[in-house]
Structure 1
Amino acid sequence: MADTKREIERKYEGPSVGEDTGLPDLTGVSGVSGVTDKGVAELDATYYDTPDQRLAAASLTLRRRTGGADAGWHLKLPVSEGVRDEIHAPLSDDVPRSLKGLVRSRVRDAELVPLVRLRSTRDVRHLVDADGALLAEVSLDRVRAERLSGGKGTAKWTELEVELADDGDPDFLDEVERKLREAGLNRSTSPSKLARALAETGGKKQHKTIVEQPPVTAGDHVLAYVRAQRDAIVELDPEVRREVEDSVHRMRVATRRMRSTFRSYGKVLDRAVTDPIADELKWLAGELGIDRDQEVLTERLTAAVGELPHRLVAGPVHDRLGTWTSARRGGSRDRLLAVLEGKRYLDLLSGLDTLLAEPPLRKAATDDPGKVLAKAVRKDLAKVSALVEQALDLPPGTDRDHAMHEARKKAKRTRYAAESAAPALGKPAETLVKSMKSLQSLLGEHQDSVMARDALGELAEQAHAAGESSFTYGVLYGREEQRAAAVEAQLPDEWEAVESRAAV
């Protein structure tokens, strides 16, 4: 079983950090009442990566370490500068399966091999406050690095590391840093020990990191947007596996953005190549959303029941809702993990890599982005316009509901097209993004009401069949009708505002 810890730390180096130099005096740091000597530990860590260093290229580190208080396997995932999530698994001979899964979107089917060995002599101090509570751990590390694959070099250095205590105030690190600067230390130029070891032990950095150039052509802009969505899917993979809040939703959005881009810019990217990939993205979005849509609907209905006066809640409504929800759940965490481990998903990731490495560009890809992208966005906007006008001309009912739902989907597609075009088109595209987001939200509320009414009809039938009162479901149905009617009444003004601002 793996444990996760948010790690906030800073590393320092300088002439005053040498083999014969001890830790600087930190008793004068604001808030520090004492410095506790925690002794010296001998640490021995072997870092693993693919032969072409895919993890290092993504600033991920995977190591097996003995010695110290936290011996075992550690995977560090970057969050922001100086902040990483450290995932710990018990000591074993092989890389734990749980950690292999978390790097699968990077590693794919490649082998994980020992890359670098770091042996460190760590002199540790604890900075504590007046109550003896830990503020930060300061360690002086004397490091010996040995390259195990991809080279044969060795290196050694001494560095100072300051790690904030759990739930500590990050501003405290600024106080420590001021004291360290006075002692002649500066922030390390290497983001991690592994990065420094790789740089100083020689060998070739085999994994190519693409240095993105500013987009020039229409194709450049479209590919930059597609690349951003591919990167989002890869980066969100470990978060989805760890059940990080909203990660599933964000990965689904990335798949939708990419699919929409393929459709909107068929004059830029050949759809004969992108359509099969779009089909696989649709499959992945469906797998990600098996339980998510049901959860959203259940949350809406539960909240609606909670808003009713007690006298309007007749019968075991909450129990009925719970039973109905359980029966409609079609997925499980095990199923989703199996999808992320499966060949079809890994083939999709490889297909996206190939698409970006060898893009199926059409003639318009080399043209002026201002013309090509604007034309595509206007085409999408025209489809939204036709559907909104159709919905407004229809009487309330199933046909209008369907037209509004289609308008919502096209508004989302237009929003994504405008997002990808914004770097080239500037403020007009940015304004359209905001307009489409607002329209999408309004139409989304209407669609949610349609889905809620369908669910309430089903719940009422089940309650009646079980001899329970269906009164409450009727009350909720009526309220949902009122919500939908309010949206329909608001739509003409909303669309008029969109038209007045749409000038791409």
Structure 2
Amino acid sequence: MTTASDVVLGYLRIQGDVIAGRADDVRVDAPDAVHRSRVATRRSRSALRTFAPLFRRAPVRALRDELAWHADHLGAPRDAEVLKERLLAALATLPADPAYGPIAERLAASLDETHARAHASLVESMATDRYTALREALAAFLSDPPVRKSSRENGADVLPDLLAGAVDRVGRLTERAAEIDEDAHRWHEVRKAAKAARYCSEALIPAFGDDARTLAEAWEQVTESFGEHQDTVVAETYLATEAVRASQADEPADGYLALIALELDLREEALHTGQRALHEALELPLP
């Protein structure tokens, strides 16, 4: 019999292989390496949280904390990279205007510098004893899983009930966000909870097939839409800061303001798309 812990550990092993296998590529900033490692780290943390009742509490908590630390270091260079691509692509859609000044060069140089610093910090973190301990703890968790005695005989049929907890959390956060529709922070919390629902639906695919795959795809639509929404928030904050700096340097700020206007238009659209996808995902039955 395939147990619930077998299913979850199979998913965690796939993520662990990505984290270990991409480590050298992350250090040299090979294409897509940081992104894939970051996603694998997030997937691992989500699975450990949602399916925590299958395992002893202390090892799960310790491993999640260390994965969060590594995810933070992975996130910074990736975020700078994504923001640069986004803003330069948006700038290319604007009509040429001398009033915009050297905005493309300024944006590229600033975000390249941010990326370089963040990647250097990431590489430095991966040379520490803490990172080595994380890798060892993850390997030990997978080779000798701390499954609770009470869970060792649980079949895969208990997994949908555990997934339901993650889905219920999305529902609660959605109700809270809807109270103040323009509160971007609350919708960002919804997005993070939806990612957990998405990743943990993915984990159930080997056991539940198309039913779990349908769920995972629905939650992917939610996370992509709210990801776009959050990207507009990050972009607006960055552009507002750069506009102030441009003004202080007696450079034109018009281009930054034009880009902010674009981001605000995209935010409204992304919010409505995300809310529709969210409603559809919450209506789907669990496997």
- Considering the TM-score relative to the shorter chain, is it more than 0.5? yes
Higher strand share: 1
Q: Tell me, in whole angstroms, the C-alpha distance in 2 between the residues paired with 1:491 and 1:245.
A: 29
Query: For residue 367 of structure 1, what is the aligned residue in structure 2?
Result: 154
TM superposition shift of 1:470: 1.5
Percent sequence identity over aligned pairs: 34
1:318 aligns with 104
Are the counterparts in 2 of residues 374 and 425 from structure 1 also a CA contact under 8 Å? no
2:215 matched to 1:432?
yes
Report how far residue 415 of structure 1 moved.
Answer: 1.0
Return the alpha-carbon distance in structure 2 between the equivalents of residues 261 and 487 of structure 1: 27
Deviation track 1:276-298 (CA, whole Å, cap 9, x = no partner) reads 11111122222223322111112
**Residue identity matched to 1:314:** Y
Distance 1:401 1:351, change over 3 A: same
* Equivalence for 2:21: 235
Matched to 1:481, the amino acid is L
- Give runs of aligned pairs for residues 111-150 of structure 1, distance below 5 A: none
CA displacement 1:308-330 (0-9 Å, x = unmatched): 10137522212332343255346
Q: What letter matches 2:246 in structure 1? A: A
Where does residue 455 of structure 1 map in the other structure? 238
- Corresponding residue for 1:273? 59
1:379 aligns to 2:165 (yes or no)? yes
Q: Does 1:423 align with 2:206?
A: yes
- Give the Cα separation in 2 of the matches to 1:467 and 1:438: 43
Correspondence 1:414 to 2:197: yes
What is the CA deviation profile of residues 187-244 of structure 1, one whole-angstrom value per residue up to 9, with x for unaligned ones? xxxxxxxxxxxxxxxxxxxxxxxxxxxx711111111111221122121123324543
Query: Which amino acid in the other structure matches residue 373 of structure 1?
Result: L
Corresponding residue for 2:91?
305
* Residue 283 (1) aligns with residue 69 (2): yes
Question: Paired residue for 2:268?
Answer: 485
Q: Where does the alignment leave 5 or more consecutive residues of structure 1 unmatched?
A: 1-214
Partner in structure 2 of residue 165 of structure 1:
none
- What do the CA deviations read for 1:62-114 (whole angstroms, capped 9, x no partner)? xxxxxxxxxxxxxxxxxxxxxxxxxxxxxxxxxxxxxxxxxxxxxxxxxxxxx
CA shift for structure 1 position 354: 1.6
**d(CA) in 1 for partners of 2:166 and 2:9?**
19
The within-5 A match list for 1:33-182 is: none
Determine which structure has the larger helix proportion and give its number. 2
Contact 1:320-1:463 within 8 A present in 2 as well: no
Cα offsets for 1:324-375 (capped at 9, x unmatched): 32553463655544433432222212111221232221223421211x2101
Distance in structure 1 (CA, Å) of the matches to 2:247 and 2:124? 39
**Scaled by the length of structure 1, what TM-score is found?**
0.54
In structure 1, distance between residues paired with 2:127 and 2:270: 42
For 2:227, the equivalent position in structure 1 comes to 444
The total of aligned residue pairs comes to: 286
Could you say what secondary structure the match of 1:289 adopts? helix
Partner of 1:252: 38
SS for the counterpart of 1:366 is coil
Question: Cα offset for 1:452?
Answer: 0.6
The 4+ residue runs of structure 1 with deviation greater than 6 A are none
2-structure distance, mates of 1:493, 1:367 = 36
Secondary structure of the corresponding residue to residue 216 of structure 1: coil
- Conservation of the 8 A alpha-carbon contact between 1:340 and 1:346: yes
**Residue 401 of structure 1: aligned partner:** 184
Measure how far apart 1:461 and its partner are. 0.6
* CA–CA distance in structure 2, aligned partners of residues 379 and 457 of structure 1: 38
CA distance in 2, matches of 1:497, 1:336: 38
Give, in angstroms, the shift of residue 425 of structure 1. 2.4
Counterpart of 1:76?
none
User: What TM-score do you get using the length of structure 2 for normalisation?
Assistant: 0.91
**Could you say what the CA RMSD is over the residues aligned between the two structures, in angstroms?**
2.1
User: Rg: which structure is higher?
Assistant: 1
| Deviation string, structure 1 residues 111-138 (Cα, Å, up to 9, x no partner) | xxxxxxxxxxxxxxxxxxxxxxxxxxxx
Query: Is the contact made by 1:280 and 1:348 (CA closer than 8 Å) also made in structure 2?
Result: yes
| Contact 1:431-1:502 within 8 A present in 2 as well | no
**Structure 1, residues 258-282: CA drift from partner, whole Å, max 9, x if none?**
1111110111112311111111112
Moved more, 333-342 or 249-258: 333-342
Give the whole-Å Cα distance in 1 for the aligned partners of 2:69 and 2:209.
33
Question: Residues of 2 paired with 1:322 and 1:245: CA distance?
Answer: 18
What letter is aligned with 2:130? R
Residue in 2 aligned with 1:496?
279
